Amino acid sequence: MPTVLVIIHGLVAVALLGAITHQTLSTWAPASPRPGSFFGRFRTVPSPAFTNAIIVLYAITATLGAIVYLYFRVDIRPAMEQANRWELLGFFDLKEHFIAIGLALLPAYFVCWRPPPGEVSTRTRTALTSLLAFIVWWSFLIGHVMNNIRGFGE
Amino acid sequence: MTSRPAFRRFAFGFGTAFAVLYVVALAKKLALFTVYPSLGVVLWGTHFSGDVVDPALGFLAPAMYWYGWTGTAALGALVVGLLAVVIPERWARRLWRGWLWVVPAAAMLGCVYLTLPWFSLNP
């Protein structure tokens, strides 16, 4: 069961990573009407259209992560402690803290992408989106590394 | 729906207050509840493994506080968010919108600071 959950958790996280990366890059550097490169086409997305998907994917990923975390604490962390992998456990703790802060920012992020004209500045929206993108990237990378070191199903 | 000023104020108040309260909960170890996953037990408040089993056997009942810290911060942020709804709109407009990302970013740095001891545990 934990293995199935962690795989689903990872797959949803990949979708979230893609969506928020599209949105963040298109916010920072909007593409020209006729993009010529791959990077240009990558940014040619309607950023607001990603908002709901990102919120749903973030919520699902965080929920699955919160469930998997129970197994991690009992089965994985003690082994990491015995192996003196304290720095990795520290990075993992940061991931949990960042995810919680990001989760609470989702309502504000939702509002920022659907404001009345002039209510929220583009800078605030860009900064908030970038903050969430950082949280998602950090969490994905640390979770991936941790899973590679000691995945489930042993 | 989302353009309603009340919801906007709640969302902004909740998000920023949560970030601050989460760091406070983390620093002061104020967990709303403690989870013992190996025992299937959830206790109100902050408890340590030695509280539920013999201290020498504490490793058999690892305690989890992340859920409790999140609960503490969410509860406090809910109150702040609701207070933000009832304050006059003209007061809300005076607040710099940048706090919405500056406060969580600062809170994340606070979390980094509080996590630093982990990195000094290496032999």
Comparing C-alpha atoms, which of A29, A45, A10 is closest to residue A143?
A10
* Residue B106 to residue B95: CA distance in whole angstroms: 17
pLDDT tens, residue by residue, B74-93: 999 999 999 999 988 777 77
Give me the residue from B3, B14, B104 closest to A115, CB to CB. Answer: B3
Which stretches of chain A score pLDDT less than 70? 31-35, 42-43, 115-120, 151-154
In a domain, A140, yes or no: yes
What pLDDT score was predicted for residue B123? 62
pTM of the model: 0.90
Provide the pLDDT for residue B1: 43
Question: Does residue B59 carry a pLDDT above 90?
Answer: no
| In-domain check, residue A118 | yes
**What's the gap in Å between the CA of A36 and the closest CA on chain B?**
33
3-class SS string, B82-104: HHHHHCCHHHHHHCCCCHHHHHH
Q: What confidence score (pLDDT) does residue B56 get?
A: 61
Report the alpha-carbon distance of residue B69 to residue B65 in Å, rounded: 6
Q: Say if A154 falls within a structural domain.
A: no
- How many CA atoms, within 13 angstroms, populate the side-chain half-sphere of residue A154? 11
Task: Tell me the ipTM for this assembly.
Answer: 0.89
Considering the domain boundaries, does residue A58 fall inside one? yes
> Mean pLDDT over residues B103-121, rounded?
92
For residue B93, give the chain A residue with the closest CA: A119
A110 neighbourhood in chain B, CB within 8 Å: 2, 11
Tokens at B60, concatenated: 């058999």
Say what the pLDDT of residue B57 is: 62
Q: Do B51 and B29 form a contact (C-beta atoms < 8 A)?
A: no
Identify the residue among B100, B113, B120 best suited for mutation to test binding to A, counting A beta carbons within 10 A and taking the highest.
B100
Q: Is the pLDDT of residue B54 over 70?
A: no
Give me the residues of B, 36-75, that contact A with CB < 8 A. Answer: 37-38, 59, 62, 64, 66-67, 69-70, 73-74
Is residue B53 predicted with pLDDT exceeding 70?
A: no
Q: Which residue of B has its CA nearest to A108?
A: B11
pLDDT digits (tens, 9 = 90+) for A66-86: 999 999 888 888 888 888 888
Please check the confidence at residue B103 and state whether its pLDDT lies above 90. Answer: yes
Percentage of chain B lying above the pLDDT 70 cut: 88
Residue A137 lies in a domain: yes
| Beta carbons within 10 angstroms of residue B85's beta carbon | 17
Give the whole-angstrom CA distance, residue B110 versus residue B72: 17
Q: A33 in a domain, yes or no? A: yes
Number of domains in chain A: 1
Residue A116: exposed, middle, or buried by beta-carbon count in 10 A (0-12, 13-18, 19+)? exposed
Q: Which domain holds residue A131?
A: 2-149
Report whether pLDDT(B3) > 80. no
Average pLDDT, chain B: 87
Q: B101, A127: Cβ pair inside 8 Å? A: yes
d(CA A65, CA B39): 20
